């Protein structure tokens, strides 16, 4: 059997040297002749501001940190991204477009991957850095270079420790402006930290909520049933991930959380509401599993504006009120939220939970502590045969806060070579066409590494951060056979 070959820049691997070379040319080589381009493609320029949109210029004079954020060049994104995360962000946008062309007699190593849009990473590499555009030099530097020492790692500029010990604030990023009267700034709350109100067009879009359509589906009894589909929600991904992990010969053992957890992403041109989207994913578990607190929500996922109201109401009740001082209030704004606000919401609803923080220590880095803890979390819930490769648990998903962004942990895997990965739902990126094609199938037999890779976060990504905070729901999970449904 041919040796598995690994990409030197990312976790991609293949047994066929040609496809590994093609992967490197397409994703990691600037000006590659293998990257598809329109013959008459015009030089890239940032999208013009839509009517009613305001530019990100809402910082008071003298506010530091403007150069640390950059507007994603993907026209449908609208996200302000920390510069050090830019290339990973663009690679995951590329993963959104992956589609497999299946044909009889073609193995997974020789299946063609059709990318229906030009790689954002290639776009970014072609243009000079000035404000929200990029240079080849900075792109190459960011793509191939990991932090060489602890001083280059990103850290949580705002922590739950700021709430429980307000007199001992967490470490602030070099160059951030000192807080005035407890009020935090852009380093902690994102590029819209001083926004009084989000643009009217965006408020109307969020108020209207995602588009809901009704589709016909074949039920378990063979009858046609009508189901509602929400344009930024993808249920049913976890059973597919279970199959993909089982098929992957490199996986030694994998664990997945309760399958009712829905993948919920941002909507077009929405920008960064990741804290709210990850909260919605926790709520989707609570609703679908009929877990503790499910009676506090309606039939549908609570919207961003409703979650803002609920957090403000928690502050009104005296829960984590320091957050209100720090943020200046969040209702109707795009200010980032994190563990202090999510914790306040859970406390106000009476949902049992625990909070943990992981920080680099001598000979014990934060990402290693995180991986150890998540692996133990899932291992403790295993009641079936230990020899089973993929363990389907009834555990809740986990809210994970990392510097500048949050994600939802839905599983864990250990590879045969000792590598460990978190399996995550990242609300910044949409479900790929490749995943949509295989949703609902129970007979997958072909390994699809690119599809699975979009849900993996390993040491390469996690080691860039010095700190993490994590919220776990601790009520005993329901044990009805959800995986059999």
> Residue 201: its pLDDT value, please?
93
pLDDT at 76 over 80: no
pLDDT at 169: 47
Burial 378-390 (b: 16+ CB within 10 A, else e): beeeeeeeeeeeb
Question: Is pLDDT at 352 greater than 80 in this prediction?
Answer: yes
* Structural domains in the chain, sorted by start: 1-48+57-145 (no CATH), 150-484 (3.90.70.130)
Q: Which residue has the higher pLDDT, 36 or 256?
A: 256
What is the structure's pLDDT at 462?
A: 95
Of the two residues 271 and 47, the one the predictor is more confident about is 271
Over range 334-363, report the average pLDDT.
96
pLDDT at 450: 85
Residue 336 vs residue 51, higher pLDDT: 336
> What is the DSSP annotation of 194-243?
T-SS--HHHHHHHHH-S-EEEEEEE-TTS-EEEEEEETTEETTHHHHHHH
**What confidence score (pLDDT) does residue 228 get?**
81
pLDDT > 90? residue 351: yes
Sequence-separated contacts (24+) of 224-228 with Cβ below 8 Å = none
Q: Which of 143-152, 224-233, 342-351 has the highest mean pLDDT?
A: 342-351
Q: Decide which of 83 and 428 is more confident.
A: 428
Q: How does residue 163 score in pLDDT terms, banded at 50, 70 and 90?
A: confident
Using DSSP, state whether 364 is helix, strand or coil: strand
pTM of the model: 0.73
Q: Give me 187's structure tokens.
A: 């380093």
Say what the pLDDT of residue 159 is.
Answer: 83
> Is a pLDDT exceeding 60 seen at residue 124?
no
Determine the pLDDT at residue 99: 56
Q: Mean pLDDT across the chain, nearest whole number?
A: 77
**How does residue 138 score in pLDDT terms, banded at 50, 70 and 90?**
very low
pLDDT in tens, 206-222: 999 999 898 777 665 66
Question: What's the pLDDT at 41?
Answer: 39
**251-256 and 390-392 as β-strands: parallel, antiparallel, unpaired?**
parallel
**Between 282 and 437, the higher pLDDT residue:** 282
Q: Please write the tens of the pLDDT for every residue from 46-59.
A: 333 333 333 333 33
pLDDT category at 5 given cuts 50, 70, 90 is confident
Q: How many residues does the chain have?
A: 485
* Across 4-27, average pLDDT: 64
CA distance 227 to 431: 19
Characterize the bridge pairing of strands 251-256 and 224-230: unpaired
Q: How confident is the model at residue 33 (pLDDT cuts 50, 70, 90)?
A: very low
Name the band, by pLDDT with cuts 50, 70 and 90, for residue 119: very low
Residue 69: the pLDDT is 64
- CA 465 – CA 152 distance, rounded (Å): 9
The pLDDT score that the predictor gives to residue 29 is 60
Q: What is the pLDDT of residue 481?
A: 75
pLDDT on residue 395: 96
Distance CA 196, CA 331 (A): 9
Residue 62 has pLDDT above 50, yes or no: no
Query: Of 29, 39, 244, whose CA–CA distance to 139 is shortest?
Result: 29
- Mean pLDDT over residues 78-100, rounded? 65
Tell me what pLDDT residue 274 has.
94
> What pLDDT score was predicted for residue 318?
96
What is the arithmetic mean of pLDDT over 226-246?
Answer: 92
- The answer on pLDDT for 98 being more than 70 is no
């Amino acid at each position: 059997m041919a040796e598995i070959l690994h990409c030197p820049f990312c976790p991609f691997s293949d047994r066929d040297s040609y496809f590994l070379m093609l992967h490197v040319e397409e994703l990691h080589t600037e000006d590659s002749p293998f990257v598809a381009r329109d013959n008459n493609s015009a030089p890239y320029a940032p999208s013009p501001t839509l009517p009613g949109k305001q530019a990100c210029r809402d910082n008071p004079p003298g506010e530091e940190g403007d150069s640390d954020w950059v507007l994603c060049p993907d026209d449908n994104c609208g996200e302000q991204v920390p510069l050090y995360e830019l290339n990973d962000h663009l690679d995951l946008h590329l993963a959104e477009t992956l589609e497999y062309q299946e044909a009889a007699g073609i193995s997974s190593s020789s299946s063609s991957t059709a990318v229906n849009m030009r790689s954002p990473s290639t776009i970014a590499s072609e243009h000079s850095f000035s404000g929200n555009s990029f240079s080849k030099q900075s792109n190459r530097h960011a793509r191939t270079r990991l932090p060489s020492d602890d001083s280059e790692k990103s850290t949580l500029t705002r922590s739950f420790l700021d709430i429980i010990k307000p007199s001992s604030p967490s470490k602030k990023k070099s160059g951030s402006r000192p807080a005035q009267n407890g009020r935090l700034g852009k380093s902690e709350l994102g590029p819209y930290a001083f926004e009084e109100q989000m643009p009217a067009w965006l408020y109307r879009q969020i108020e209207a909520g995602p588009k809901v359509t009704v589709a016909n589906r074949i039920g378990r009894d063979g009858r046609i049933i009508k189901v509602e589909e929400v344009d930024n929600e993808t249920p049913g991904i976890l059973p597919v991930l279970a199959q993909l992990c089982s098929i992957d010969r490199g996986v030694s053992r994998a664990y997945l959380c309760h399958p009712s957890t829905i993948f919920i992403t941002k909507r077009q041109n929405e920008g960064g509401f990741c804290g709210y989207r990850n909260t919605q994913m926790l709520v989707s578990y609570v609703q679908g599993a009929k877990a503790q607190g499910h009676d506090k929500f309606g039939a549908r996922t609570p919207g961003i504006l409703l979650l803002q109201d609920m957090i403000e109401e928690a502050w009104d009740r005296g829960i984590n009120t320091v957050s209100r001082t720090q943020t200046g209030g969040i209702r109707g704004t795009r200010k980032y939220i994190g563990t202090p606000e999510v914790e306040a919401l859970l406390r106000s609803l009476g949902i049992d939970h625990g909070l943990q923080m992981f920080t680099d220590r001598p000979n014990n880095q934060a990402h290693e502590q995180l991986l150890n803890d998540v692996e133990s979390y899932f291992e403790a819930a295993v009641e079936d045969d230990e020899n089973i490769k993929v363990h389907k648990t009834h555990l809740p998903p986990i809210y994970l806060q990392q510097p500048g962004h949050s994600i939802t942990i839905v599983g864990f895997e250990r590879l045969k070579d000792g590598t460990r990965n978190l399996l995550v739902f990242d609300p910044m990126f949409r479900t790929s066409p490749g995943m949509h094609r295989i949703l609902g199938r129970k007979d997958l037999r072909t390994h699809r590494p690119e599809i699975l890779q979009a849900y993996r976060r390993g040491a390469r990504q996690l080691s860039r951060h010095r700190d993490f905070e994590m919220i776990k729901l601790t009520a005993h999970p329901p044990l009805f056979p959800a995986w059999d449904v």
